[in-house]
Structure 1
Amino acid sequence: MRVTQSMLSNNMLRNLSNSYSNLGKYMDQLSTGKKVNRPSDDPVVAMKGMNYRSQVVNVEQFERNIGEVHNWMDNSDAALDKATQALQRLRELAVKGSNGTYEEGQRESIAKEIDQLKDHLADIGNTKVNNKYIFNGTKTTGTIDADGNTLKPVEVDDEGIITSVSDSTDPVLIEVSSGVKLQANVNATNVFSKQLFEDIEAFSQALKDDDQAGLEDVLSNLDIHIDNTVNERADLGARMNRLELVENRVIEQQITATKMMSENEDANMEEVIMNLTSQESVHRAALSSGSRVIQPTLLDFLR
């Protein structure tokens, strides 16, 4: 086969172009830290990288969801703790008020404290976190009546009378892991029920009327409400324990997913630097030999 000057020049230019391409590839890997910067570099690695990235994104979203559930549960637990303290204080007042030695003025003072505790429980029932009612089921922004007014979980009129209590028992379910949803709220109807406030109002009225039989009934009813609150808080505590287990599992999944993604697409920097240095040497040799190939021309022989 006859080898011409044109063939030598074209081969040299093609080899130089390939050398530049390899240099560019290694420079991209060195500057980005990734061994794949476009799907054409390695379609298999790119496809796996998309799956690993999706897995990492999902795990990160689960972590944000877990934080939201923690926020709901921690605030619910704190509110139930305050509600339990208020109910315990009401029980103390019931025991004190059932003592027949108290005079009318003293019973009036106890009744005033009871009214304040009732309002305090109503405020706890209307607890808002991030502008959401945490004791109103899935109706976290409140319900709207016919007049367009927002109805709170516990409605109190201007005279301090409880007019309505939300009966929303819909659980607020938040996905904390793949296919795993946890209830973030508590069943408020077991704590802030209409019956609770009616019993407290009856308690106050029994003191004002010096109704000993009514006071005894209130005492037994308060025990029931305290038990309901404690049971609801215990159920919340069980879910909080499970949430911690799920959180630990999700953290481990994030570590594993991030490691797999890194092993799949991160470049070995030592290897990249060695390849780049070697390619630079090859490129310099190609340029040196190429300069000798294209140097002789007809003019060189006419001198």
Structure 2
Amino acid sequence: MRITNASMVRSHLYDTQNNLTNMSKINQQISTGKVINTVSDDPHKAIKIMNINNEIKYTEKYNYNIDETVGWMNTTDGALDNVGNLLGEIKETILKVGNGTYSQNEMKSLNEDMNEKIKQLADTLNSTHGGKYLFGGSSVDDAPITVIENPDGTVKLEFSKDKNGQTIPNTDDLKADISSGINIDYNISVGEILNIKDGNGNTVNLLDEINNLSTLMNDIANGDEQTAAKAKETLLNDTKGKIDTLFDHVVNERTSLGVRVSTAEKIKELNDEDILNIQDVLSKTQDTDVVEKFIELKSAEMIYQASIQVGAKLIQPTILDYIR
């Protein structure tokens, strides 16, 4: 095979360019701290790195969901704590009614106090978190409870309705993904709080009992002797028991909520451990061994310099170099 000077020069220039490219690649790996900077560097490793980064991103998203849901549940727990305190105060007021030493004026004062507590209860059930109503089920943009103040001085609470007359609050669950294949129900609706099962499995709407409080108290404070006596008997023998039942139910809901918070926080701990492990794998796959690459860079520089020197000897002068 005939080898010409021109073919030798072309081959030399090609090899020199490869040496320069290799030196540039190693320099980039040192500068970026990454072994793989483009897919063409190593397609198999590049795909692996992309998959690892996606896994980290998804796990971080799960942790974001956990932070959001735990914040929601903690706000809900605080609201339920207020509900429990109000129910305790309502029960104290009921017990005061049973004290025969209270005068009629004092009974009127207790009636007004009861109405205020019922309004406070409504405000608490309309609590928000981040501008969203906590107890509206999936209807988070509308207050679930409406307060109606009647001309006779009684106060009534109702489930809110939309423009079509449909009840707004529902018992739908709000769910969030907190890990791969795991989601959590993080809300409690006003329906779950006020609609409970009795011993026979029948649903009892305790919102009616709360409304009865205002009616009974008004009858006791402003009604005739017979009406007041009958209202007092109902309040002490029946309604007080329903308020106790509601209080116990709120405590149970708080316990359930606490379990969910604990579960979410434990899963976040596991997610954090997963992220650390995944990042360790990513580091071993992607990070540059600076000492090793620095040695490779020096070797590549020597090879490139040697190729330059060889080229100087390879490209011989021709007669044209001597023409003046």
- Paired with 1:205 and 1:103, the residues of 2 have a C-alpha distance of 14
1:93 aligns with 2:120: no
Deviation (angstroms), 1:203: 4.6
Conserved? CA contact 1:34–1:267, under 8 Å? yes
Aligned to 1:214, which of 225, 234, 237? 234
The reply on whether 1:32 has 2:27 as its aligned counterpart is: no
Determine the structure 1 residue equivalent to 2:144. 153
Equivalent position to 1:162, from 142, 157, 181: 157
- Aligned residue among 171, 176, 181 for 1:174: 176
Q: Which runs of 4+ in 1 moved over 4 A?
A: 299-303
Deviations 1:73-130, CA, capped at 9 Å, x for gaps: 0110000011111111111111112111110111111111111110111001111111
Contact 2:138–2:169 (8 Å) recurs in 1: no
In structure 1, how many angstroms separate the alpha carbons of the residues matched to 2:54 and 2:30? 25
Task: For 2:79 and 2:158, locate their aligned partners in 1 and report how far apart those are by CA, in whole Å.
Answer: 21
The CA deviation at 1:196 is 4.4
Match of 2:191 in 1: 189
Q: Is the CA contact 1:187–1:232 (under 8 Å) kept in the aligned structure 2?
A: no
Instruction: Tell me the equivalent position of 1:277.
Output: 298
Encode CA deviations 1:10-44: one digit per residue, 9 max, x unaligned: 22201111111101211221222111111111010
Pick closer, same or farther for the CA change 1:98–1:197 going to 2, 3 Å.
same
Equivalent in the alignment of 1:288? 309
In structure 2, C-alpha distance between the alignment counterparts of 1:207 and 1:238, rounded to whole Å: 42
Counting only pairs closer than 5 Å after superposition, residues 122-271 of structure 1 correspond to structure 2 as 122-142=122-142, 152-157=143-148, 159=150, 160-164=155-159, 167-192=169-194, 193-208=206-221, 209=223, 210-211=228-229, 212-216=232-236, 217-271=238-292
1:270 and 1:203 map into 2 onto residues whose CA distance is: 85
Unaligned runs of 5+ in 1: 143-151
Aligned 8 A contact 2:144 2:190 in 1: no
**2-side partners of 1:274 and 1:203: how far apart?**
90
8 Å CA contact 2:135–2:169 kept in 1: the answer is no
In structure 2, give the amino acid aligned to 1:222.
I
Normalised by the length of structure 2, the TM-score is: 0.85
% of aligned pairs identical? 28
Say if 2:87 is the partner of 1:81: no
Counterpart of 1:72?
A: 72
Q: Whole-Å Cα distance in 1 between the matches of residues 172 and 320 of structure 2?
A: 94
Secondary structure at 1:191's aligned position in 2?
Answer: helix
Shift of 1:58: 0.7
Instruction: Assess if the C-alpha contact under 8 Å between 1:19 and 1:283 holds in 2.
Output: yes
Deviation at 1:191, TM superposition (A): 2.6
The root-mean-square deviation of aligned C-alpha atoms, in Å, is: 2.0
Q: Any unmatched runs of 5+ in structure 2?
A: 161-167, 195-205
SS in 1 for 2:184: strand
1:206-232: CA deviation from partner (whole Å, max 9, x where unpaired): 542443302312221211111111111
- Secondary structure (helix, strand or coil) at the match of 2:72 reads helix
Distance 1:4 1:163 in 2: 99
Query: What secondary structure, in the 3-state scheme, does the structure 1 residue paired with 2:250 have?
Result: helix
TM-score computed with the length of structure 1 as normaliser? 0.90
Q: Deviations over 1:238-291 (max 9, x none)?
A: 111111111111111111222222222222222222211211111111111211
